[in-house]
Chain A
Amino acid sequence: MRWMWIDRIVELVPRERLVAVKHVSMAEDHLHDHFPASATRPAFPVMPASLIIEGMAQSAGILVGHAEAFREKVILAKVSKAELTVDAQPGQTLRYTATIRQMDAAGAATLGLVDLFDPLSSQPRRIGEIELMFSHIDQNMSGMKFPEENFVFGESFKTLLRMSGVAIPT
């Protein structure tokens, strides 16, 4: 099993842009640990920033992987920048918009925007920017050999793609 941090892909422009959403729910255990009640204040459950970055990494990683029909093993190699200005709370929805800034045989650099939708507001709010670097690990790592099977894009990712109506390129 793989921990998926996006619920649905809502737009995919191959080699260019992918938009995905993540609904933040009180049913998710990690929210209760981030941050639990202390002696001085009640619980303050918010989506951990590290998991928002992971959500963007999954969105951008799928975009990069899709560009080469998921033949490359696309690994998050660097978080070049991550700025998040507002907490995401249960009942709100995150929207990740990932775009490819540059890409070549060795890997890719992506730009990401994070927007927050609140049911009490008619407009989304821009809450962050996340820039990432991905490595095509078969093309790097000084020729190190990895399993032939693409262990990065497993069944969970394929389910997400199918569920979102995204054709898996062959």
Chain B
Amino acid sequence: MTRDDIFSKVRTVLVDALAVDDEDVKPDSILTEDLGAESIDFLDIVFKLEQAFGVKIAQGELFPENVAQDPTYVQGGKITPAGIAALKTRLPHVDFSKFEADPSLSKVGSIFTVDTLVRFMEKKLAAK
């Protein structure tokens, strides 16, 4: 499956899960800020990706879990360097370059773009 094919399927998933239009879904669209995703939508997206691509996605594999509860990872409302290092290991499909400039916990949602999902599915399918 080509990257364009994967993007097309991811877009269909997001249009269905978030009730947005096709043209709203661009590679750099942020799931929360640009497409209006809320917390439960992330589970919906995982379920729909599993169906669309015929894969099983473990809890925490695509989106991180319980980062905010670990004091090693969060201090003063920001993700610590140790936290970012841990996230990079757990989430190799995520581009942290912009986030690292201001690693506020409140902005952690901005690391998840449409491209993040496409990269995740590329890796997932390659490992299949």
Contacts and interface: CB of A to CB of B under 8 A. Distances in A.
Interface of A: 77-78, 80, 101-102, 104-107, 109, 133, 135, 139-143
Interface of B: 17, 39-41, 43-44, 47, 50-51, 59, 66, 68-69
A78 B50 contact: no
Tell me if A's interface is mostly helix, strand, loop or mixed: strand
A54 B59 CA distance: 28
A78 B69 contact: no
Contacts of B66: 142-143
Contact of A133 (B44, B50, B68): B44
Contact of B51 (A77, A102, A139, A140): A102
Contacts of A133: 40, 43-44
A107 B47 CA distance: 10
Contacts of A102: 47, 50-51
Contact of A77 (B40, B47, B59, B69): B40
A136 to B, nearest CB: 10
Given A142-B68, A142-B69, A143-B69, A106 B44 contact: no
A102 B69 CA distance: 28
Tell me if B's interface is mostly helix, strand, loop or mixed: helix
Given A80-B44, A102-B47, A107-B43, 7 more contacts: A78-B40, A107-B40, A140-B40, A141-B39, A142-B68, A142-B69, A143-B66
Contacts of A142: 66, 68-69
A112 to B, nearest CB: 16
Across the A-B interface, the 7 shortest Cβ-Cβ residue pairs: A77-B40, A143-B69, A102-B47, A78-B40, A109-B47, A106-B43, A143-B66
Most buried by A among B40, B44, B51: B40
Contact of A78 (B41, B59, B68): B41
Nearest to A104: B59
Nearest to A77: B40
20 contacts: A77-B43, A78-B41, A78-B44, A101-B47, A102-B47, A102-B50, A105-B59, A106-B59, A107-B40, A109-B47, A133-B40, A133-B43, A135-B40, A135-B43, A139-B59, A140-B39, A140-B43, A141-B39, A142-B66, A143-B66
